Amino acid sequence: MALRESPESPTPRRPVSPAPVELASPAPTRHGTAALVSAAAGVLLAVLWSFEFVDSVIGDTVANNLLGHDAKATAIGGTGAGLLFAFVSGFAGTFTACNIAMVASVGPLSQAGASNRLRHHLRSLLRPVGWLALGMVAVSATYGAVGVLIGDGLPQLSTDTVGGMPVRLIQSSVVFGVIGLVLALLGLSALGLVPDVFARRPVARVVLIGALIGGFLIGRPYPLFNKLFHWAVETGNPVYGAAAFTLQSLGNIVIVTLLFVVVVLVTRGGFLRWMTDPARSALVTGTLLVALGVFTVVYWDLRVPSIFGVGWFPTMPYN
């Protein structure tokens, strides 16, 4: 007689395999390390930076040679000379502390121009540069027109001091402090360490960075720009102010634009294809933005005030 299992008999259970343990992705840790190294590089750059060398030795020399006369001592004569001075002084001031952060735009430019099929290299080059210029010109032209209308009421044109520190440099500290924080935040978001609202909007990221580059003029204490600003105010024409500030900003990005174009052309589009890898693109973009964002904040909000006895910041013998 066949044996039957009683309903009360326990049903044999199959051994339950343990749930697979998901290993944490190394990307967040790697990107966190990259952010820390980039931030440290930004602080180190602020310590090593010599504004006398960059502003005077490089900036003045370039401007003097291109204009054919002493850029600081020679008066600006006429509208044409003023607009030429605007572009040349912007170009000469490319690597000043108030403009060096624009180098961080190389990563976002590559993202906006990246494509798996680069049949139209020229379009791939011009499109991201055009978006960068759009954001930049929108801010610089507006500030140029408004600056002429307000005139000497702007702290940027004042010779007053507060606690021994020029008010124009106080404006610089505030403006560049904000811009530096935004750049650093964009870098952290590109690295995936904070939410990235531009993850699927690389063009919007480039436009915003362009606007930040245009915003450099709002805090710029560069002597040649200060001379240009006074000239624009003296004309009393906001259109001249807008045009001059636009040319100043365009001069600021000539070198980084040419660098981007040369790299893409020399590699025959290989650089843009290389940047289509999301992890690689995020790392390049994020580290550049964090490093130069931190430099901007540390230099303008810690080092510059320390020159006037506000706080302390380490310096090198040559700076």
Note the pLDDT of residue 296.
97
Note the pLDDT of residue 257.
87
Q: With bands split at pLDDT 50, 70 and 90, how would you rate the model's confidence at 58?
A: very high
Q: Please check whether residue 112 is in contact with residue 131, taking contact to mean a CB–CB distance below 8 angstroms.
A: yes
Note the pLDDT of residue 22.
41
Q: With bands split at pLDDT 50, 70 and 90, how would you rate the model's confidence at 170?
A: very high
3-state SS class at 137: helix
Q: What is the mean pLDDT of residues 101-112?
A: 77
Q: With bands split at pLDDT 50, 70 and 90, how would you rate the model's confidence at 6?
A: very low
Q: Which of 12-16, 52-56, 179-183, 262-266 has the highest mean pLDDT?
A: 179-183
Alpha-carbon distance 299 to 303, whole Å? 5
Q: With bands split at pLDDT 50, 70 and 90, how would you rate the model's confidence at 21?
A: very low
pLDDT tens, position by position, 113-151:
555 454 556 666 778 889 999 999 999 999 999 999 999
Alpha-carbon distance 61 to 71, whole Å? 9
Q: Which of 20-29, 61-70, 289-298 has the lowest mean pLDDT?
A: 20-29
Going from N- to C-terminal start, the domains of the chain cover 32-307
How many CB atoms are located within 10 Å of the residue 227 CB? 18
pLDDT surpasses 70 at 9: no
pLDDT surpasses 90 at 165: yes
Mean pLDDT of the chain: 87
Alpha-carbon distance 198 to 236, whole Å? 40
Note the pLDDT of residue 298.
98
Q: With bands split at pLDDT 50, 70 and 90, how would you rate the model's confidence at 13?
A: low
Q: Please check whether residue 183 is in contact with residue 293, taking contact to mean a CB–CB distance below 8 angstroms.
A: yes
pLDDT surpasses 60 at 254: yes
Note the pLDDT of residue 98.
87
Note the pLDDT of residue 182.
97
Note the pLDDT of residue 263.
84
Q: With bands split at pLDDT 50, 70 and 90, how would you rate the model's confidence at 63?
A: very high
Higher pLDDT, 237 or 109: 237
Q: With bands split at pLDDT 50, 70 and 90, how would you rate the model's confidence at 111?
A: low
Helix locations, the chain, DSSP H: 26-48, 51-52, 61-67, 79-92, 106-113, 121-150, 167-190, 202-219, 223-235, 238-252, 254-266, 270-274, 278-298, 304-307
Q: What is the mean pLDDT of residues 88-95?
A: 94
Q: What is the mean pLDDT of residues 104-120?
A: 64
Higher pLDDT, 162 or 23: 162
Q: What is the mean pLDDT of residues 261-284?
A: 82
pLDDT surpasses 70 at 2: no
Beta bridge partners, 161, equal 166
Note the pLDDT of residue 157.
95
Note the pLDDT of residue 102.
84
Note the pLDDT of residue 113.
56
pLDDT surpasses 70 at 57: yes
Alpha-carbon distance 119 to 15, whole Å? 57
**Cα→Cα distances 273→111, 257, 259, 264, Å:** 10, 18, 17, 10
